Chains A and B, each alone.
Chain A
Amino acid sequence: MNESSGSGPATWVHHLKSGQAEGLNELWARFYDRLVHHSKGRVRSVGMNGIDEESVACSVFESIWRAASEGRLESIQSCDELWWWLLSAAHRKIVDHTRRATALKRGGGEYVADLGDAQALQQLLSNEPTPEYLTILSEEYERGMAILDDEQLKRIAVLKVSGATNEEICEELVIAPATVTRKLRRIYEIWRVAGEQET
């Protein structure tokens, strides 16, 4: 239950906001440019206005594209937890895949903790997203969406990954702000458990 307050993506954002990792902004900009560049090639033609039912199944690249075109990804600080989750999950896969020795700490199979500080983020961002990485990112996204068994959870996840704020989700789905937070926590938990089981 402490996933949002302990280590993990939330901590990155915290570090970033507190200005501990100013240099990371540059890294992010390059990483992000690259992501957008890749997503441009893969994006299907989708409308930019709102997320309709069909878009629930849209790819991570469409989400990146949408978020980028709406200016939501330009600042590293605008990124929210689900984004970091996705990136970190893809990153972990890459790490496992190549069996590269890293300086990351490993603890109890909880890969959340792997990327729990600004250094880890730096490491992620300093590696240019390779085609392999992008494929895995896309797979992680689709897998993440697939294990959400509830339509509302899926829509919230898509909206969130696409850069919508909690207020916008609340307005879009006509639910209370507390419900958005609660549902996001469930998504987070579902993904975490799935990650653990895999490890």
Chain B
Amino acid sequence: MDAIHEVDVLCDEFESEWKQGRTPQIVEFLHRTDSSLVESLLAELVKLDLYYRELNGETPSLADYETQFPDYKEVLRSLEAQIPTYIVQPRRLGTFLLKRHVGRGGFGDVWDAFDTKLQRRVALKTPRDREVDPAHLRLFLREARAVAQIEHPHVVRVYEQGEVNGRAYIAAEFVDGPTLARWVKWHDVDAAEAARICRDIALGLVAAHAAGVVHRDLKPGNVLMAAGDVPKIVDFGLAKRLDGTTTIGQPGTILGTFAYMSPEQARGNQYVDGRSDVYSLGAILYELLTHRTVFKGTAQELLDQIYHREPAAPRTLNQTIPQDLETICLKAISKLPADRYQTAQQLVDDLNRFLNGEPVLARRVGLVERSWRWIRTHKAWSALVGTVGVAALALAGIGWQRFEEYRAARQVVTLKTEPPGAKVVFVPLDPRTGEPVPEKKVKAGKSPVRQRLLPGDYLVVTYVDDEFFHEVYRHVPDKGAMNSLKYHQRHRNWEVLGGDVIELPSVTLHVQPFVAANMVKPFAGAEYVIAETEFTLVDYHKTLNTDQQPKGNGCIVIPSDDWALRCTAFDDAMGIAERAGGRLPTLFELQACLGRTQIAHESSIDPNHPVGEGDARRTSDGIIIYGLTSNVAEWTISFSPNLPEVIELEVDPPFEIVGAPPFQFAGPEAGSSRIVFGPLSDDEMNSPTDANHNRMFFRNTWRNDLGLRLARSIAPRFTD
């Protein structure tokens, strides 16, 4: 009795430390008991330790403790039967076998892993803290999606990204080699080799920029040297964006990053283009040639130099550096983006000329010009920061050349809201991922607004305050477009008012969705609420003010008012969601609901809920979400270049909304499919193995097992 009691008390204390956010050490607790109890205490503490480490986003293994407590191997092995099998070796994350912990990046752990499904070795990255800020997680996954499109020998390939049990991961090509930062320490790099390495990296940048991805944190630590000294760029945008520690506020800890950062980025300008990467690569070349970074000093000194000081010419540090290569290097690290190579390709070309012994295009800048340039730079930046402010910075970021094109392409767009006077923000959607790009948002003031916008899809946030708002989607057509086909969905309509002015359908603000669905916040910290059930027939009747059933080819009649609405094509789902005062959820939002819930016990389910019967999931806070894994799948707003598209075309007239004009077939086009979340049939629903079915369906797909669920942001986004 006393023994059990003593072990219990120590375990309680150990657990309490974990719950208070500390990391208690097993060994310290073992010292507090006499030797007869050590074994039983160790066994209990290890079980607790495994549980809380996993909860904190680590990937612990029983083997970790065998190393730490070699004398107690027997005890530890006896635990195998008592703890989840994936914690007993080998470590697993979904289909991945985690073989070796190889490092920690700015955003989390990196594992040498094996994809058992596709039978290949991968580098698996997982954010360290499972409770990572959802906004960061979105960025993590968004970047990964964008990078996944890049297939190039000098870019580390991203194979896939996703979530398993609520843990996000990125599976990338495994490169067995050191970073360039380490590699240079035991290699003597001559000018030609430096030029070759930088040319290869620049080739990688060309591919990335073509996919619309800017690295933002290119440095020797983010270049891996594969077998044969082949450089490969890694961590596009990830480390920089997820590592909140990369700020000016911590002198001495982040100089490595600043040393390669372009002036415009060092100023905190989020809107940087590929020329920022050109600068960083120039800084790498500078270091390979001179064995020192462009600037040295504390963070503050570094920033001051990056803004105001011209670097020492490489040849003043090392006479043997060829002049042409020095010229290329200095051009690449010009303070003004417009003075640099305008594209990574131009840098590749000049480096190739140097390697082939041809004259390079970069011009040497004389002392007089450099002085003038210094003054101009100095004045320009002072003026920008001091007086002109944000707008000028944005222009500088875009660059004059591109600014001209940009100005020429813009449309004048007008938009009204009900009630008038709401503030309006246009957030462009990334055409490759469909995600909003907050850096490019345009605040248009109070409605009715008149705003020049580039053609494309937008998330339009209209708001009076944190409660009274609506987030809708609108399309700005190319210049010269005729009136849109009259879709019944407002997000695809526009009207040409003449004189290059386009009117977008107006937006009606809501305090909350007005349909029957109960909106719940699925977990603490969620930035959205989601309907407790799928969108039902009664919701549909209420939203469209009709008592008719949706009609569609092959669609069976929905037997009861509170059954899930089905047979909606994507655009219908979008339109219905907007009219109901909400929006469609993202894949991430639905996956988060799935990942944070467990099958609810019957006792906690409302027996009168026929939606998703036998399929209710409960969060740890006791919130029930019905039908997430029912046999009716749900449209999301998301799409992914990595999922194959399912295109099922029906020739006959599909679903009709009462009073709407007839359906127009738009034809498959880029970004015209969306991810559908959840099982599609009874078979899939009843399959216990994987509730997480995601597929890309062509937007005009209407099926008997495809509906929607309403979501709404807790507060209007992108308003700051």
What is A's interface to B at a CB cutoff of 8 Å? Answer: 1, 48-50, 69-71, 168, 171, 174-179, 182-183, 185-186, 189-190, 193
Contacts and interface: CB of A to CB of B under 8 A. Distances in A.
Contacts of B601: 70, 168
A70 B4 contact: no
B408 interface: no
Most buried by A among B12, B52, B82, B602: B12
B8 A182 contact: yes
Interface string B1-19: 1001101100110010001
B319 interface: no
Q: Classify the interface of chain B: helix, strand, loop or mixed.
A: helix
A182 B43 CA distance: 11
Given A1-B4, A182-B11, A171 B52 contact: no
Interface string B314-356: 0000000000000000000000000000000000000000000
Interface in B1-54: 1, 4-5, 7-8, 11-12, 15, 19, 44, 47-48, 51-52
A70 to B, nearest CB: 4
A169 B8 CA distance: 17
Contacts, number: 47
B1 A193 contact: yes
A32 B44 CA distance: 36
User: Chain B, interface size: which category?
Assistant: 20 to 34
A73 to B, nearest CB: 12
Contacts of B664: none
Contacts of A168: 601
B382 interface: no
A100 B556 CA distance: 68
B602 A176 contact: no
B603 A176 contact: no
A50 B601 CA distance: 11
The 9 closest A-B pairs by CB, nearest first: A178-B47, A70-B603, A176-B51, A176-B48, A178-B48, A189-B4, A186-B4, A186-B8, A171-B620
B484 interface: no
A71 B602 contact: yes
Contacts of A48: 603
B604 interface: yes
Contacts of B603: 48-49, 69-71
A144 to B, nearest CB: 16
A5 B331 CA distance: 77
Contacts of B7: 182
Given A171-B620, A175-B15, A176-B51, 11 more contacts: A50-B622, A71-B603, A176-B48, A176-B52, A178-B47, A178-B82, A179-B15, A182-B8, A189-B1, A189-B4, A193-B1
Contacts of A174: 19, 620
Nearest to A1: B4
A49 B618 CA distance: 13
B642 to A, nearest CB: 34
A193 B622 CA distance: 37
B8 A176 contact: no
A193 B48 CA distance: 27
19 contacts: A50-B622, A70-B601, A70-B603, A171-B598, A171-B620, A176-B15, A176-B47, A176-B48, A178-B11, A178-B44, A178-B48, A178-B82, A179-B11, A179-B12, A182-B7, A182-B11, A186-B4, A189-B4, A193-B1
